[in-house]
Amino acid sequence: MMFVGRALLGSALVVAFVTSQEILLDDAGPHTTWDEETFHTLNGHIGNSWTKIEGECAKQGYAGGFHVGFMLKSGYSLASWNFTVPKSGCYWVEEYHPDTSHCEFALSATVPLQIHSKKGNRFTGLMDQSQRGGQWNRLVKLPFDKSHSSAINISALGFKFKIAGLWAVDAFRLTYHAKTCHDEEELEKLYATPTAKAPKDPEKLQFDGVYAHERFKEVAPLQLFQTLVDGADVKVRGATTEPLWQCPASTTRSFHHDAMQKDKKAEAVFQFDPPQDGCYLVEEKHPDCQSVGSPNTKVHTNYAKSLQADGTVNQTAPGNQWTFIASLQFYAGYLADVTLSNEGTEENTLATFDQLRFTRTGKDCMEVHAHPRRVEVRMTVDYKRFEAHHLDHFGPALRSKLAELAHIPETSLRLTGLREGSIIADFLIIPSLVDEPLMHHHLTPKNTIELLRYAIATNQNQLCRLTAEYGVLYMAGCKVEIKDLGFAQATVKAPRGRPLLQGTPEYAFEKEVPEQEAYDWSKLIIAASVTCGMMGLCAASLYMWRYLKYKKVLGRKVTKEGTDVQTFTIEPSAWGYPKDLAMEEGHVVMQVSEKPDENALDDKSTNCSGIDYQGESYFGAGDIDKQSEQSGPSVCSAASKKGLRSGQKNVAWALH
């Protein structure tokens, strides 16, 4: 592959750009480079991937011409535009491709595009050139820096990508928008109607034996906004790049470290200028110094507009791969930073400061799909039968096999550890966008877990046989299970250990119920039975207490043999009546006639004038005084009235 360099923009174009704050990049411009890869046709002719279209069809392109790419190979770059903006700020990037309805060919719906707007910032996405031809199409707003060279590439270089159809190379246009790409109006719309719950998860995949990503009703595909900050662009204090024999990787002098000196503070500040508002995955990469790596290198971050978080990152984890720190909200125009330091690290450990990566995974951190998740895969195979060196190879082999069977990118499935409990492999599931942005259908972590669940359920034997390759024969009872453990928790927290605001969810989302416990009715029935039993016991205890209480104060005597009149002597306070109703040494006497002699008693028979059967008064004041003056005990009797309802009793009160 060969690139041909061209001269910089002509003076006329520069003047037009300066006056209109616009820059035009055409396929025929002097700042364009292209791929001159050749290929052989079936009839023996030699063709060129970079082909200029002629005739009437060419007039459909911008300014009357365009090029296309034929017989492209994966990993090649068809064309590149290199330029420098005269003014730093946020620019709209637009694309123009021809309308090929008048041509004898059609253009691809998946054309890869990469834009390096400033140092460390990379935008990656797909253009659909099969429609909206013959017009300018807005792609994205990006920050550009006049002090750094920028580039636009029609290329899939660095990513796995299946090429389909013809790619057109026509024109791009950049137009100055504002000082920053922060969009306050869009944020106001986003938070105008906040919801108490997180958005609903994408519809789960319904498997019928046929694999198809199209079954996912996914959110609109995101384009990749990714910023890489490495050791060459950080502010370093007290750190060095001197080689250490304990860490052979340090001989490259490509990263800073504390030289295992804990008597002085060493730190590195990684600054991040967010290209757009959104939720970003924050990751750290360190060299392979496992034997001496620090397990608790301190992390401090300033994010969002004025929020802070503190924590640690484990640098004993396998090196040269990305380690998850947190998902945090960042805003364009608000400079953020992450500081790594050796503060509080253990003696004889090495704190390293190498690379940080910020990847936009959603518009807002309240979106479920913006966050990585954790799963565990359990195999009922004896863990102790594995030798240590076999385990080192078995973990990656299991990861590769799962990715193959589930048809998911292997980069979306990160092995974080192996442990006992038969064999339990812990995985971090990240959005496929992070490492494979050119997939036609991006997979959220939930999507990936559903695909894994199906692959494991239908490929038990293949997965169990995998252990035999590492000296452990699986038994007939081998079983493989997967369990979703929920959101991956950040390794940093807000001050005083509080949950993160505008970051990785801890309490913002409803707690997930494990599948085997979601509808456990037996537990519910047992709990209800125990509750009812306790309530019944309490009611019986209360009844017995009241019975024993009143038994103390109740006395029973029969006034005449053969009669049905019962006399009870009751203290006034026992029923809640004021004690001043009783005279000196007096008692309230109640007589109840359960079976009155209807011939002896008429409808109004009573010895007490103070009784009102309508319930309006119980005592006449004069009657009480008259009764109290009697020398002997007196009785106020009441008998059941003729015609009263069954079971009703008439009660009269008096003093004696």
DSSP state string for 390-401: HHHHHHHHHHHH
> Quick one: CA torsion of 527, 528, 530, 531, rounded to 10 degrees?
110
Residue 267: its pLDDT value, please? 95
Kindly indicate the confidence band of residue 470, based on its pLDDT and cuts at 50, 70 and 90.
confident
Average pLDDT over residues 637-656: 39
Residue 576: its pLDDT value, please? 46
CB atoms within 10 A of CB 6: 13
Question: What ranges make up the beta strands (E) of 512-596?
Answer: 556-558, 565-570, 588-593
The two domains 11-179 and 224-370 share their CATH topology (first three levels equal): yes
Kindly indicate the confidence band of residue 334, based on its pLDDT and cuts at 50, 70 and 90.
very high
Kindly indicate the confidence band of residue 469, based on its pLDDT and cuts at 50, 70 and 90.
confident
Question: Which tokens sit at 51?
Answer: 């082909």
DSSP 522: H
> From CA 15, how far away is CA 56, in angstroms rounded?
32
Domain regions of the chain by residue span: 11-179, 224-370, 375-487, 554-656
> From CA 340, how far away is CA 308, in angstroms rounded?
14
99 with 57: CB under 8 angstroms? Answer: no
> From CA 33, how far away is CA 2, in angstroms rounded?
9
Condensed to tens digits (0 to 9), the pLDDT of residues 401-442 reads: 999 999 999 999 999 988 887 889 999 999 999 998 888 778
DSSP 488: P
Average pLDDT over residues 609-622: 40
Residue 47: its pLDDT value, please? 55
118 with 144: CB under 8 angstroms? Answer: yes
**Among candidates 159, 183, 3, which has minimal Cα distance to 78?**
3
Residue 275: its pLDDT value, please? 92
Residue 225: its pLDDT value, please? 93
> From CA 276, how far away is CA 73, in angstroms rounded?
32
Reported residue count of the chain is 656
**Among candidates 593, 606, 507, 510, which has minimal Cα distance to 558?**
593
Q: Is the pLDDT of residue 88 over 80?
A: yes
Condensed to tens digits (0 to 9), the pLDDT of residues 499-551 reads: 777 776 654 443 443 434 334 455 556 677 777 778 878 877 777 776 666 65
Kindly indicate the confidence band of residue 474, based on its pLDDT and cuts at 50, 70 and 90.
low
Q: What Å distances lie between residue 205 and 210, 288, 378, CA to CA?
A: 11, 39, 22
Q: Is the pLDDT of residue 150 over 90?
A: yes
Q: Is the pLDDT of residue 339 over 60?
A: yes
> From CA 328, how far away is CA 319, in angstroms rounded?
23
Residue 58: its pLDDT value, please? 92
Q: Could you tell me the CATH superfamily of domain 11-179? A: Galactose-binding domain-like (2.60.120.260)
Q: What Å distances lie between residue 266 and 224, 228, 256, 385, 613, CA to CA?
A: 33, 22, 9, 43, 95
510 with 487: CB under 8 angstroms? Answer: no
Q: Mean pLDDT of all residues in the chain?
A: 74
Average pLDDT over residues 314-336: 92
Higher pLDDT, 226 or 473: 226
Average pLDDT over residues 116-122: 88
103 three-class SS:
coil
370 with 503: CB under 8 angstroms? Answer: no
537 with 361: CB under 8 angstroms? Answer: no
Residue 653: its pLDDT value, please? 39
Highest mean pLDDT among 174-178, 209-213, 499-503, 516-520: 174-178
CATH architecture assigned to 224-370: Sandwich (2.60)
> From CA 637, how far away is CA 485, in angstroms rounded?
77
Kindly indicate the confidence band of residue 552, based on its pLDDT and cuts at 50, 70 and 90.
low
pTM above 0.85, yes or no: no
